[in-house]
Amino acid sequence: MRRDVFQAIADPVRRDIIRLLAEQRLTVSAVAEQFDVSRPAISKHLKILNECGIISIDQQGRERYCEIQPRNLIPAFLWIQQYQNLWEDKLDSFENYLDQLQTGMRQQPKNRKDE
């Protein structure tokens, strides 16, 4: 069953696995050692990432090595980037609004009590 990349990155453990594998190729055992969850749970997470094409798992002798396939994260990156641009525009507008408020506050005369 081929899973959706968004399904894969929805889980925080899988996102952490992706971060680990972005740094280096690791054995399944080395990945599992980084987490406080059972080895079968890590195997399930790796299976999902593999089914999405985010990682590849290669057998070399008795070891299974996991390696990131970053090109398969591009669809998620492009989708997120659309919203990044939207939020940057909104935040820029908000920053301009705050600057205008601050400028207006500086220009207002201060009320002084008549002595």
State whether 80 and 65 are in the same domain.
no
Do the Cβ atoms of 3 and 45 come closer than 8 Å? no
Task: Compute the distance between CA of residue 24 and CA of residue 68 in angstroms, rounded to an integer.
Answer: 8
State whether 64 and 77 are in the same domain.
no
CATH number of the domain to which 15 belongs? 1.10.10.10
Predicted confidence (pLDDT) per residue in 88-106, tens digit? 888 888 888 888 888 877 7
Task: Compute the distance between CA of residue 62 and CA of residue 42 in angstroms, rounded to an integer.
Answer: 18
Is the pTM for the entire model greater than 0.75? no
State whether 15 and 41 are in the same domain.
yes
State whether 12 and 56 are in the same domain.
yes
State whether 65 and 9 are in the same domain.
yes
State which of 10-14, 81-85, 89-93 shows the largest mean pLDDT.
10-14
State whether 9 and 65 are in the same domain.
yes
Mean pLDDT, residues 52-79 taken together: 94
Domain that holds residue 58: 5-69
Work out the angle between the directed axes of helices 12-23 and 39-51 (0-180°, nearest 10): 80
State whether 62 and 78 are in the same domain.
no
Mean pLDDT of the chain, nearest integer? 89
Residue 95 class from Cβ within 10 Å (0-12 exposed, 13-18 middle, 19+ buried)?
A: exposed
pLDDT top residue among 69 and 113:
69
State whether 30 and 84 are in the same domain.
no
